[in-house]
Chain A
Amino acid sequence: MQPPINPTHQNGKMNEKVIITKIQQGSREALGLLWKSHSTKVLNLAFRMLKNRDEAEDALMDIFVSVPSKIQSFRGESALGTWLFRLTVNECLMKLRSKKRHAELEEGHIDVLVNSAIGSKNDEALDYDPELLEIGLSKLPAETRSMLWLKDAEDLGVKDLSEIYCMPEGTIKARLSRARSVVRSYLQENQNYA
């Protein structure tokens, strides 16, 4: 069964405020619309963080099951998508913590790396192997990995990331810069052997 689409809404789209109000009132249809518009993005973010398809699916379901209760305290100060990404990041971090995958969570170790030669303008011309890129991304701690994914793959702004991770924009920018350096470093090292 697929989530329902109410024909009275243009192209199956509903105003975000209406969706929020309807979900708060317990509408399954509105939740279905939210699922249709955001479940893939949420799943991919969870997958990047957890690095496991089944666990990502579990996280996706846990998040959507919790939406009707959690949305009661949502005041609409950020976009619904940003709010969902925050739920996703928190849910995944909780799952990682419960598994004690500390290495996934520690940010510190990426400070060591960084290679000034990497991250040059020439990088954009390189055609990275997607599998290699996936592995390079997995070298990052889960939180940083999700941050880089949201910024470069989902095209979120630094301001949105600042809301999601509750961090100053400067910190987000610094972490993104370091994360890109780590990934590029890995790609450059391994591209030569590919």
Chain B
Amino acid sequence: MRNQIDFSRIERITPREDSWDMVCARLDSSKKNKFLNFFQARSIFAVAASFLAVAFITAWVTFNKLDSETLLIKNVASDELVSWYSDLGETTDDELENLDTDRSISYLLQETK
């Protein structure tokens, strides 16, 4: 086109010899980084999950321990009643899990008042 400016005499530069190698190296390193990032992300999740699991187990054990302690007969009944219960050949470490035992204890508690 007549209106165009003629740039044909302006020197064209060409990429340096090692430019392609550098592009390849950067592509390879970004691949490697992606691979590492994948595992780093996974290990962060694994550590977080471990912490959660430990916290959950600790809370569960603590809760159960407290629960069983409060429900032991020796903890809820008077010395007189515990002594009577032991004389029956039962152990005072029993828990109040059984409905019959629970009812008996409740009855005896009322009787001793």
- List chain A positions with a Cβ less than 8 A from chain B: 1-3, 28, 32, 35, 39-40, 43-44, 47, 53, 56-57, 60-61, 64-65, 68, 119, 121, 124, 128, 130, 133-134, 148-149, 151-153, 180, 183-184
Interface SS of chain B: helix, strand, loop or mixed? loop
| Contact residue among A3, A133, A180 (Cβ-Cβ distance under 8 Å from B10) | A133
Q: Contacts A28-B27, A130-B10; is A152 near B21 (CB within 8 Å)?
A: no
Decide: B30 and A119 in contact? CB cutoff 8 A. no
CA distance A15 to B60 in the complex (A): 65
Residue of B nearest to A36 (CB): B20
Chain B neighbourhood of A47, CB < 8 A: 13
Q: List 25 A-B contacts (CB under 8 A).
A: A1-B21, A2-B20, A28-B24, A35-B23, A40-B15, A44-B13, A53-B13, A57-B16, A61-B23, A61-B26, A65-B27, A119-B3, A124-B2, A128-B5, A128-B6, A130-B10, A133-B9, A134-B10, A148-B5, A152-B4, A152-B7, A153-B7, A180-B4, A183-B5, A184-B5
Q: Contacts A35-B20, A128-B9; is A180 near B26 (CB within 8 Å)?
A: no
Q: Is B104 at the interface (CB under 8 A from chain A)?
A: no
Q: Contacts A32-B20, A40-B12, A44-B13; is A121 near B5 (CB within 8 Å)?
A: no
Chain A neighbourhood of B16, CB < 8 A: 57
A-B pairs, top 8 by smallest CB distance, nearest first, are A153-B7, A130-B9, A152-B4, A64-B23, A65-B26, A39-B15, A152-B5, A130-B10
- List chain B positions with a Cβ less than 8 A from chain A: 2-16, 19-24, 26-27, 30
Decide: B23 and A65 in contact? CB cutoff 8 A. yes
Query: Smallest distance from the beta carbon of B62 to chain A beta carbons, Å?
Result: 50
Chain A neighbourhood of B6, CB < 8 A: 124, 128, 152
CA distance A133 to B9 in the complex (A): 9
Chain A neighbourhood of B23, CB < 8 A: 35, 61, 64-65
CA distance A56 to B4 in the complex (A): 25
